[in-house]
Amino acid sequence: MDNKKIRLASPNTVNESNNTSINSNQSSVPPITTSNSNELIFPFLNNPLPIPPHTHPIGLFPPNMAIFPHLNPFSFSPIPFSSPFGLQWPPPPPPFIPPSTTSIPPMARILPPPPPLPAFNRMTTTTTTTIIENNPNNVIRPQTPCSNSSTTNVIKNQNCIHNNNRHHHIVSKSYSHRDDEKRNNNRSSSFDRYKNDDTRTRSNRFNNGGGDDDDDEKYMNKNKIQEIMDQIYSKKILYKRSTPLEPYYKQKPLIVDKDEIVQTIEGTQQLIDLRDKFKNEILSRAERFRSLKPAFSFPKRKIKLKAHKHHHDKCGYSCASDESDFDDSSDFSDDSDDENENSSMKELERKKSHPYRLHEELWYNEPGEMNDGLLCRCSLKAQRSGIRHGIYLGEGHLPPCDPNTNNRHRLYHYVVSINPKINFLANAPTKIKHDDHIYYFEGYSLFSHFPIPNSFPSCKIIRYNIGYEITFVEDDFPQNFCVGDLDLMFDYIFLELLELVDLNVKAKDDDNGCNRFHFMPRFVRLLENDGKELLSMSLVLEYLYRKSQPLIDDSKLDHYSRMTIHEWNTFATKHKGYLITCPSMKPCSIRVDQVDREKDDIVDDDNNRNADQSRDDDDDKFPVIVHFGIRPPQLSYAGNPKYQKAWRDYVKYRHLLANKEKVTYDDKEILLQKEEKLQEMRSKSDLKRDVTVVVSSKGFYCTGLQCDIVQHSLIIPVLISHLRFHYSLQHLEKIIGYTFNDRSLLQLSLTHPSYRENFGTNPDHARNTLTNCGLRYLEYGDRKVHFMNTRKRGINMLINIMSRFGCNEETVSNINHNERLEFLGDAVVEFLTSIHLYFLFPDLEEGGLATYRAALVQNQHLAVLARKLQLEKFMLYAHGSDLCHDLELRHAMANCFEAFMGALFLDGGIDVADRVFSSTLFDGDDEQSGLLHKIWVNYPRHPIQIQYPNGDRHLIDKVNRLQELAKFEQMTGIEFQHIRLLARAFTHRSVGYNNLTLGSNQRMEFLGDTVLQLIASEYLYKYFPDHHEGHLSLLRSSLVNNKTQSVVCDDLGIIDMTQYNSIKSELKTKDRADLLEAFIGALYVDKGIDYCRTFCEVCFFPRLEQFIMNQDWNDPKSKLQQCCLTLRSADCGEPDIPTYKVIDSKGPTNTRIYEVAVYFRDDRLATGKGHSIQEAEMNAATNALRLSKELFPHLMLQKRVIQRNIIKTTTIKDSRDGETSS
């Protein structure tokens, strides 16, 4: 098309009959043509524009300067006119020149930014359109130099046929050095990387370090943009507004909804036309291109059914391990490795064979598929339930929103924010220019059909080895948008560009319903006086429509080849970092890292060339797109089974050498060889993670979007899953009849150790999109964040964790699964069943109570209770783990029920947990269950309490035995209301039945044991946040074992208060422990659990620090075996462990003394004696650790770890004491 010059004709040359008035609604102003058809005359210049009679209010013009030197022609070509994207003016902003003081028409009003030039956005016309080049923003600027970057705002109908023979995969030799770049954790910022981006010396290649004057300006602009983005995110906003309504929106009449008057916004016909154009020409573009190609689909898989094999050590834990730890369980069978590797490689090769693949190193997304096979391998029965299948209990049909209004009466608005901003605050954000102002992308707005309660916790994720927190803050409802705009934008960004094809925002089987959430990209600018203006969605759609044009215009190939170096660099810089899309290809969208027009060193990739080896000459003229990507883990050394096995061998051997008494030269050589083998495997080209992708630019379209859109968009699926899960939990709360105050506890109780958040959708889809379209340079944190709170295997890890002291206050744990809650819930369930059985069966002895309790708390029964609450429909666990089998699922459900009871106990107390447990045990669906529930809940009081409901202390003066116990009360400070309960607790079973105590203390031992277990479990859960379930169990065992209880019993002098039928010379440790348990049981029956908790805080918990320092949690036999395991040799399959042999026994049966010897590698270490074989073995192990400590260097390591934690704890206490004193 010829470039037409535009001039503003003098009044004498204008045909006044063609003048069209400008109304208040900004109606179109058609141009007037003169006899010269190549000249375009604007009617608002029919009369000379007068100079204002006084100085302009904002001081933009000199007093004697004419506003429009219209007699001089413009120096740029005509502007295109194409409804609705022709030249129009927007609704006027607050006038800078009052209408009463000027005769300038609205179209010529002055805008504030200097130089004082009138700016317009759109003008519709019915005449023939003329393209104005070199004017990307469609702004008329008289006598103003225009940008050299040429874009057009008219999307031409391109009959681009994307057949396979015209898309060739090419690689450039000059880019191969990019494969050697390492992506380590200490990456510099994007700004620093851009400065040193390329070292290419060819002068006509694009590079950032060209030394042109434009570079300094670009860097300055980046710093300025960074400052603006910091202000957008951090500045306190006092007021907000949206861009004007007209011409795309209008206000609807007021709606009365739920006694509220709501003002809604409705889209005009112009907005409907815009959406139709956008949908037909952009969203449907890929489908049109696909229809021009031969249809292709992969052959149906042959699914081979086989028995499920699962490695429990892999389930739920990172394969990354502590370098000093190892375990035999990490070694998998070679047959399993080969089988998995073959299956995975077949799937990868299958994906590579797709004929419409953009490049062999670019991985694409398919519905229900991962890179190496099917996403879901569950049975048809299992696919009908579970959150992992996108089924959230409680979700029903949601009537569709009105697409042409903002549905103000139905939706609730929240602003999505993520902290910290690392990797989300881009140096080159997506920005839209409108009305001479720049609007920057700051994130997304969320519109929910239901209000989000304040009790919903924030969403926490780990990305790039950094912990992020996604929050949603309720905000004022924005104006200028319609729901149809949001849905159109969601389909374009998430489905068309990012290809998150497995992301579903609707309820299961509710295809005709509305999305559960709507999202709006927020483009904002800051205003004066701490304000913020939000760009309306119509302008965002218009911007995307305008930008959606071919990256390389076929008709301008010769022009690109004749560009100077500076012109080419300017063109390439303009597109670097943006997303481009090639519709119908797989994948369709990539990030532009470089644009190259040189062909002398570009060769065809023979492996990807089609059968037809011919190439059109036109293809050679197209520049190439360079993209630096990352291979999926399955194709790199990180996912290679051989590399993983070599890595495990290396770590294992290094650990053995670290514990070896003397390391030889040969040992060091073997370790070096293993390390060199790993380095060699990492350096292989086919196993490198970094790849360079070079593709022809033919068929690519611009999007106008930067990578910051991708970064923010990929947190949306996680937020959707998080909110849908918590909305679903409201249904669970209705089932149990209780609303949690802390919803994070409820979520934690339902989170299986195998669960990972996995991007909220197909994880491979998100990773592929992030690699293809996300930021190129990312800042990574410490990779230990993935397993520092989940790893619990290994001797060193055990010693490290068990040497940590408790916190001074209740602390929330960073362990994000339900094993710790399961530890607590197990004690809660045992306690609840014990107290009910104890009071319901007053004549049943301890053995019978224990039998009944075992039947109620066994996993098989707890799984039945969990199914009653439908916990399996709320559980979060890994998709594909062995929980899909009924046996494993029932076990996980039982654990989940225990964790659920633990969460109820922490959130609502023991009464709430008791009520929910009782209602679940007897659901009351029929008359018999209702009767049983009534009996179970309304259990009677203790028989002693029934005799004297108000207490029996009046009997003290009459009974000598009670007078003795009263002295014990004075000594301990605990006064019983029913002192006969204390008398029963101190009555041995040899005494027999009497009217004072109504029995012995055996039943109270049963009750006191479970009370002590619950209180100890609660304390350890709250004050030891770094300990896992197994570590907590070890601490609890050391805290409430017979030895500790017997010591407390002696400290309180309980033995002197105990009544026996015959005097015993000395009580055994077990007998003294039973007395203390009986005392705690009596204290609970009389005073409740709070008194028992206080008693334990005084008598038990202070001893924990000494237990940790002395490693009392680790018995001598276990400690000796741990030390022996560290001495295993590298060439030995089975490790050597200590063995025990009875070498002598003396005395009669009831007082026999055993002597045991302990051996290691056929050498006797020590001997020990005891009244039982187990006691003798313990003593032998103790002596072996004392006498042969030089054989076990690991003992010194344990002492150093404990000493380090003691110093750390002492330092913290001293600093706190100093703060308190100051």
The 10s digit of each residue's pLDDT in 972-1005 is 999 999 999 999 999 988 888 888 889 888 999 9
1015 occurs within a structural domain: yes
Q: Please enumerate in sequence order all residues whose Cβ is within 8 A of that of 1117, keeping only pairs 6 or more positions apart, or say none.
A: 1177, 1178, 1181
Say yes or no to pLDDT of 729 above 70: yes
Residue 821 is predicted with a pLDDT of 95
Query: How far apart are alpha carbons 952 and 945 in whole angstroms?
Result: 8
Query: How long a stretch of residues is the chain?
Result: 1222
pLDDT band at 679 (very low <50, low <70, confident <90, very high): confident
Give residue-wise pLDDT tens across range 450-474. 999 999 999 999 999 899 999 999 9
Give residue-wise pLDDT tens across range 99-152. 333 333 443 333 344 444 333 333 333 333 333 333 433 333 333 333 333 333
Query: How far apart, in Å, do the first and last CA atoms of the chain sit?
Result: 82
**DSSP labels, 57-77:** TT--S-TT--S--TTSPPSSP
Domain that holds residue 867: 817-940
| Phi (first) and psi of residue 397, to 5 degrees | -65, 135
- 169 and 149 in a single domain? The answer is no
> Six-digit token pair at 1010?
């479970």
- 865 and 898 in a single domain? The answer is yes
| Long-range contacts (CB closer than 8 Å, 24 or more residues apart) made by 919-928 | 919/736, 919/737, 920/736, 920/865, 920/868, 920/869, 921/856, 921/865, 923/868
- 981 and 1087 in a single domain? The answer is yes
Which helix or strand (DSSP H or E) is residue 1137 part of?
none
Share above pLDDT 70 across residues of the chain, in percent, rounded to a whole number: 72
Residue 1200 is predicted with a pLDDT of 77
CB atoms within 10 A of CB 1132: 9
Instruction: Return the sign of the alpha-carbon dihedral for residues 700, 706, 710, 713.
Output: negative
Give residue-wise pLDDT tens across range 640-653. 778 888 888 888 78
> Six-digit token pair at 208?
């950032």
β-strand partners of 1142:
1156
950 occurs within a structural domain: yes
Which helix or strand (DSSP H or E) is residue 144 part of?
none
β-strand partners of 462:
467
366 occurs within a structural domain: no
Among 125-129, 401-405, 1136-1140, 1182-1186, the minimum mean pLDDT is found in: 125-129
- 756 and 716 in a single domain? The answer is yes
- 960 and 1090 in a single domain? The answer is yes
Query: How far apart are alpha carbons 1137 and 868 in whole angstroms?
Result: 46
| Domain termination site, one of 119, 153, 187 | 153
Q: Please enumerate in sequence order all residues whose Cβ is within 8 A of that of 451, keeping only pairs 6 or more positions apart, or say none.
A: 412
In the 8-state DSSP scheme, what is residue 753?
T
* Three-state secondary structure call for residue 365: coil
HEC states along 538-573?
HHHHHHHHHHCCECCCHHHHHHHHCCCHHHHHHHHH
| pLDDT top residue among 316 and 269 | 269
What average pLDDT does this structure show over 901-908? 96
Q: How far is CA 339 from the centre of its chain?
A: 32
In the 8-state DSSP scheme, what is residue 835?
H
- Helix %, strand %, coil % of the chain (to 5): 45, 10, 45
Say yes or no to pLDDT of 903 above 50: yes
337 occurs within a structural domain: no
Residue 842 near residue 943, CB atoms below 8 Å: yes
Give residue-wise pLDDT tens across range 569-582. 999 999 999 999 99
Alpha helices in 548-640 (DSSP H): 557-561, 565-575, 617-621
Among 571-585, 759-773, 1177-1191, the minimum mean pLDDT is found in: 1177-1191
* Residue corresponding to tokens 């006498």: 1187
- 774 and 822 in a single domain? The answer is no
Burial of 1014 (0-12, 13-18, 19+ CB in 10 A): buried
Say yes or no to pLDDT of 308 above 50: no
Say yes or no to pLDDT of 175 above 50: no
Give residue-wise pLDDT tens across range 34-61. 344 444 334 444 444 444 444 333 333 4
Burial of 866 (0-12, 13-18, 19+ CB in 10 A): buried
Which CATH number do you get for residue 1040? Answer: 1.10.1520.10
pLDDT band at 624 (very low <50, low <70, confident <90, very high): very high
232 occurs within a structural domain: no
- 865 and 901 in a single domain? The answer is yes
Which CATH number do you get for residue 1150? Answer: 3.30.160.20
CA atoms within 13 A on the CB side of 725: 28
Residue 338 is predicted with a pLDDT of 52
Among 108-112, 772-776, 885-889, 920-924, the minimum mean pLDDT is found in: 108-112
Say yes or no to pLDDT of 179 above 50: no
Q: Virtual CA dihedral for 1028, 1029, 1034, 1039, nearest 10 degrees?
A: 100
Query: How far apart are alpha carbons 897 and 713 in whole angstroms?
Result: 35
| pLDDT top residue among 630 and 334 | 630
Q: How many domains does the chain have?
A: 7
Q: Virtual CA dihedral for 855, 856, 859, 865, nearest 10 degrees?
A: 140
786 occurs within a structural domain: no
| Domain termination site, one of 1093, 1110, 1127 | 1110
435: left (phi over 0), alpha (psi -120 to 50) or beta: left
Residue 656 is predicted with a pLDDT of 74
Exposure pattern of 1024-1062 as b/e (b: 16+ CB <10 Å)?
bbbbbbebbbbbbebbbbbebbbbbbeebebbebbbeee
Which helix or strand (DSSP H or E) is residue 340 part of?
helix 334-352
- 911 and 1007 in a single domain? The answer is no
Which helix or strand (DSSP H or E) is residue 772 part of?
helix 763-773
CB atoms within 10 A of CB 845: 14
pLDDT band at 426 (very low <50, low <70, confident <90, very high): confident
- 1092 and 1139 in a single domain? The answer is no
CA distances from 695 to 301, 620, 706 (A): 31, 12, 20
Exposure pattern of 168-198 as b/e (b: 16+ CB <10 Å)?
bbbbbebbeebeeeeeeeeeeebeeebeebb
- 465 and 539 in a single domain? The answer is yes
Give residue-wise pLDDT tens across range 1085-1138. 999 999 999 999 999 999 998 888 888 888 888 888 888 887 776 665 677 889
Q: What angle do CA 373, 374, 380 make, to 5 degrees?
A: 155
| Amino acid at position 107, single letter | M
Strands 690-696 and 40-41: unpaired
1140 occurs within a structural domain: yes
Query: How far apart are alpha carbons 431 and 700 in whole angstroms?
Result: 21
Exposure pattern of 781-805 as b/e (b: 16+ CB <10 Å)?
beeeebeebbbbbbbbbbbbbbbbb
- 1020 and 955 in a single domain? The answer is yes
Closest CA to 356 of 165, 528, 212, 70: 165
| Domain termination site, one of 1067, 1091, 1110 | 1110
Q: What angle do CA 218, 220, 222 make, to 5 degrees?
A: 70
1046 occurs within a structural domain: yes
Exposure pattern of 1148-1186 as b/e (b: 16+ CB <10 Å)?
eeeeeebbbbbebeeeebbbbbbeeeeebbbbbbbbbbe
Residue 1196 is predicted with a pLDDT of 75
Instruction: Return the sign of the alpha-carbon dihedral for residues 338, 344, 349, 352.
Output: negative
- 535 and 580 in a single domain? The answer is no
CB atoms within 10 A of CB 80: 20
Exposure pattern of 1071-1096 as b/e (b: 16+ CB <10 Å)?
bbbbbbbbbbbbbbbbbebeebbebb
* Three-state secondary structure call for residue 192: helix
Closest CA to 509 of 639, 391, 604: 391
Give residue-wise pLDDT tens across range 475-529. 999 988 999 999 999 999 999 999 999 999 999 888 899 999 999 999 999 999 9
| Amino acid at position 1005, single letter | E
CA distances from 286 to 139, 182, 281 (A): 32, 36, 9
| Phi (first) and psi of residue 668, to 5 degrees | -65, -35
